[in-house]
Amino acid sequence: MVRNIVVLGGNSHPELVESICGILGLPACSRILTKFSSGESRCEIQDSVRGKDVYIIQTGFGGNGSRLNDHFMDLCIMISACKTGSARRVTAVLPLFPYSRQPDLPYNKAGAPLYKAPTPNGENGKNQYTFDSVPPTPGPGVPKTSGLTNSSDIANQMIKNALTNGSSKEQYTTHDYENLSIVNGFQAKPGYKQWVAQAGTLVANLLTCAGCDHVITMDLHDPQVQGFFDIPVDNLYGQPLLKRYIQQHIPNWRDAVIISPDAGGAKRATAIADSLGMEFALIHKERRPTKITDRQNASMMLVGNVTDRVCILLDDIADTGNTITRAAKLLKKEGATTIYALLTHGVFSGDAISRVKASAIDKLVVTNSVPQDEHKKQLGSKLDVLDISPIFAEAMRRVHHGESISVLFNYE
């Protein structure tokens, strides 16, 4: 039982709120949080927050009929309401930080969108995703592969596509758009390189301006986001959970290889590999144009050896599932026996679930930083969900009592 603390839940993840409240031994603050028919959020906090330490739990996830931006506005409104209601301190608990992933530039220098080959046949078939890798990156004494090559000439296919119907084009970016046809029809002014707004700093500033005093989040995609805030940010790690999963649920884990699916995640992956004394390999996403006609081709290659080994892909987030499914395909091609994918945040937006289903991934492990019920229903035993509520409950308890939370960064 923790006193003088109020836990206020948003609409994005009620199960997590309930679970955290259960661990802390207190009921969630009663509130009304709906929408007026005009579309404006309606928020009424029914319990007193005067002089209390308020924790507002809202994850950056939209789905199951709710919208991410609604959740974010709800969060800001709740923070502001608590502040004007004389709360002593307001902490935003964001298991998944919204807008933390800065967009990849989806365009090349000439302003034309980059394409990847159109998918030939719907959902089934693993030959849906194609990659190539020429030339391979040289590295001294590193076993390296020739990567996956494209079976078809993307450039020619693109031209054909453009002539027949423009709608089946896909863009090469780690973000998928809900409506691609608009992107493809868009042209920047001649001589100007179009660019995409980066909303990370804005979101940080908006939370601060709403009156947030403290932020608790987990596995920020870019740790630099912490620096966008002028208020304390506690970035918890999902790694210990994932580490424990490896030790307890993966047979012969000492012989397995930890794989980072891109260079950005190498640090995260090596940290775990080092602490467990495991081997490590890296998948390099190469986007250098090799020939003018090849400019559109993204390629992947593996640095390290995985033949006849169990592979454990480690990443912080799976959104469209592109990165991990492509990586899994490459690993299978390189002779991996079993592929585990361990992620902190399993967003799985768009058609990610069917993509994962059809992929070479044998087991997917995510935390419940975003609701996983729907994903669990669709993926069944392929998906394992780790509970993060004890970590967040403990972090909240420690922050409330002014104890150090650094022990949470490395717990076993």
Q: Which residues make up the interface to other proteins (CB under 8 A)?
A: 36-46, 48-49, 61-63, 67-70, 72-74, 76-78, 80-82, 84-85, 98-99, 101, 103, 175-179, 182-183, 186-189, 192, 194-199, 201-202, 205-206, 208-210, 319-320, 347, 349-350, 352
Count of residues making up the chain: 412
Q: What span, in angstroms and rounded, lies between the C-alpha atoms of 116 and 14?
A: 38
Burial 213-241 (b: 16+ CB within 10 A, else e): bbbbbbbbbeeebbebbeeebbebbbbbb
Identify which of residues 85 and 390 has a Cβ nearer to other proteins in the complex: 85
Q: Beta strand 89-94 with 5-9: parallel, antiparallel or unpaired? A: unpaired
What is the SS3 assignment for 198? coil
Return the number of the residue (73 or 385) whose C-beta is nearest other proteins.
Answer: 73
The residue type of 287 is: R
* Beta partners for residue 115, in sequence order: 171
Which is closer to other proteins, CB of 15 or CB of 70?
70
Neighbours of 333 (CB within 10 A): 15
Question: In a 3-state reduction of DSSP, which class is residue 316?
Answer: strand
d(CA 45, CA 67) in angstroms, rounded, equals 21
Closer Cβ to other proteins, 238 or 346, answer by number: 346
Least Å from the CB of residue 196 to other proteins: 5
Distance CA(276)–CA(273), nearest Å, equals 5
Least separation in angstroms between residue 322's CB and other proteins is 11
Token pair belonging to 72 = 């974010």
Q: C-beta of 319: minimal distance to other proteins in Å?
A: 5
Least distance from C-beta 307 to other proteins, angstroms?
Answer: 35
The residue (of 85 and 136) whose beta carbon lies closer to other proteins is 85
CA 242, CA 205: separation in Å to the nearest integer?
31
Nearer to other proteins, 6 or 300 (CB): 6
Beta partners for 189?
A: none
Query: Residues 54, 26: contact at Cβ < 8 Å?
Result: no
Q: What is the DSSP letter of 120?
A: S
CB of 208 to other proteins, least distance (A): 8
Q: Which is nearer to other proteins, 201 or 226 (CB)?
A: 201
Shortest Å, Cβ 367 to other proteins: 17
Work out how close the CB of 227 gets to other proteins at its nearest, in angstroms, rounded to a whole number: 16
